[in-house]
Structure 1
Amino acid sequence: MSGNTGTQGGRGRLGSMLSGLAVAVGCLLFLGGFVGGALIYQPYTVPTDSMTPTIDDGSKILAQRIDGDDVRRGDVVVFKDPLWGDSPMVKRVAGVGGDTVACCDRDGRLTVDGKAVVEPYLTPGMGGRTVASDKEFSVTVPQGSLFLLGDDRHTSLDSRTHLEEAGQGSVPRSTVVGRVDAVVWPANGLLEPPTGFADLPGGTSRPGPFEALFTAIVAGCVLILAGAAYGPVANLLTRRSAGARPGKRERVGA
């Protein structure tokens, strides 16, 4: 009896220690993921349908806080320029300082310094033909600036709308407040990489740590729940085991 009780007590202490460790590690992961996300990302609500089908009107997005100097072609950015309005806006970077951005080539594609850019997110317009813009243009982007386009080229009010203004519709890099990494509502996850811009000088940006932070939060939840559930489950199993154990028969003296 004493040996069995000692064994069960040892296992119980080990289990309690492991469950406590699981809860502690889970809390660190969960809180670390949330705190890291709050420091790195800023949530926004997209106010228009100019970025459909990539981002729908009313979607909740997470934009990584970055410096405007870190922006590359193909990035979807949140920016705030007083000449465009008082609210933050979301557009895709089509060109950076020094680029000549033009539309369209004979296949209806956008070109950057004469190189055609494949944009799979574009949708067909009237007549079923997909073109990068229904308005022809050719712009040399000033140094330190960005040329921005919406993914819905049929309705988006973007740099094309401001071609007659200073900078021909470009905005300073300093107006950028974040780079969009993910759509969290509806839960579409990470944006598709802008592969059409990958072959241009400088390449494209890498996604931020959204997936790592999300994984940490989920793993933390699992560990906390598993550790918290150990005690009640262990007690229930012990009671069932004790109830199923047959009692000793009394010895009858001669």
Structure 2
Amino acid sequence: MSRTTDRTGEGHGRLGSTLSGLAVALGCVLFLGGFVWGAIVYQPYTVPTESMTPTIGAGDRVLAQRVDGGDVERGDVVVFKEQAWGDMPMVKRVVAVGGDTVACCTDDKLTVNGKKIDEPYLPKGQAAESKKIPTIKVPDGRLFVLGDERSGSLDSTAHLTEAGSGTVPRSAVKGRVDAVVWPMDGILARPTGFEALGGISSPGPLRLVVAAVVAGAVLVLGGAAYGPIAKRAGRRGRPRTELAGAR
């Protein structure tokens, strides 16, 4: 009986060790793969000013998905770099794209193609009219951008006298901000106020990246912990007479 029990225990132990090894291997693939995937798809930036508050504060660390400027839609928060703007990374919200007519304000609201836009991301108590915008037709291939903190943002309205009426070429876009990672405010809400004008961007794969990293960590830790736990459980499960005979 004891030999049969020993063989059964050894079989269970080998199976457990095999499963533990597989869990650790799969966990490593998911954990490292998630980090590599994130590094390929996303670029971190530090926002230097308060022009995007309350959505993004000064000093916040954000993750921007590397996207082609042609994929940017109204409502997206983008990182761009343009020589006329100081040739440094800037973070602003796209409120109009090529072919749109933008103005401010009608009934205290920004208008795009004559439609009033609800902007829940503006600071509480601040109306869109805090920044007057003359009626402007956005040239093809360009973007009209504003800060969420309208009263203090150096955005398209500060460059109206330049070529393109203060707009930014799509080619200048470096990424689309998906999340604020420090402080950990999480993924940005998708702006719904622009839906009447057409589609809005879908969230990037950040949730999947994070899920892969977390799942990998759980599998690695769980698989690594299984061995010691199984050995201890096996020792406790052995009959005392068998232990005495072994002595």
Amino acid in structure 2 at the alignment position of 1:214: V
Deviations 1:108-146 (A, max 9, x none): 11000100110001124xxx5523533242211111100
Is the aligned partner of 1:155 residue 2:156?
no
Q: CA deviation at 1:189?
A: 1.3
Is the aligned partner of 1:61 residue 2:58?
no
Aligned mates of 2:169, 2:207 — CA distance in 1: 30
Is the aligned partner of 1:8 residue 2:9?
yes
Aligned mates of 2:129, 2:201 — CA distance in 1: 22
Matches within 5 A, 1:7-156: 7-106=8-107, 108-124=108-124, 128=125, 130-156=127-153
What is the number of residues matched between the two proteins?
242
CA contact (8 A) 1:104 1:133 kept: no
Q: Partner of 2:197 in structure 1?
A: 200
Q: Partner of 2:161 in structure 1?
A: 164
Q: Which runs of 5+ in 2 are unaligned?
A: none
Aligned mates of 2:123, 2:188 — CA distance in 1: 17
Q: CA deviation at 1:165?
A: 1.2
Deviations 1:54-113 (A, max 9, x none): 11111111111111111110010000001101320000001001110000002x110001
Which consecutive aligned stretches of 4+ in structure 1 deviate over 3 angstroms post-superposition? none
Aligned mates of 1:209, 1:170 — CA distance in 2: 28
Amino acid in structure 1 at the alignment position of 2:223: G
Q: Partner of 2:207 in structure 1?
A: 211
Is the aligned partner of 1:188 residue 2:185?
yes
Work out which of the two has the higher radius of gyration on C-alpha atoms and give 1 or 2.
1
RMSD across aligned positions (CA): 1.5
SS in 2 for 1:192: coil
SS in 1 for 2:93: strand
Amino acid in structure 2 at the alignment position of 1:212: L
CA contact (8 A) 2:51 2:154 kept: yes
SS in 1 for 2:165: helix
SS in 2 for 1:169: coil
Aligned mates of 1:198, 1:133 — CA distance in 2: 23
TM value normalised by structure 2: 0.94
Deviations 1:169-211 (A, max 9, x none): 001110001011111111111100110011113x100011000
CA contact (8 A) 2:53 2:123 kept: no
Aligned mates of 1:85, 1:150 — CA distance in 2: 16
TM value normalised by structure 1: 0.92
Identity percentage of aligned residues? 61
Q: Which runs of 5+ in 1 are unaligned?
A: none
Aligned mates of 2:99, 2:241 — CA distance in 1: 89
CA contact (8 A) 1:122 1:132 kept: no
CA contact (8 A) 1:60 1:186 kept: yes
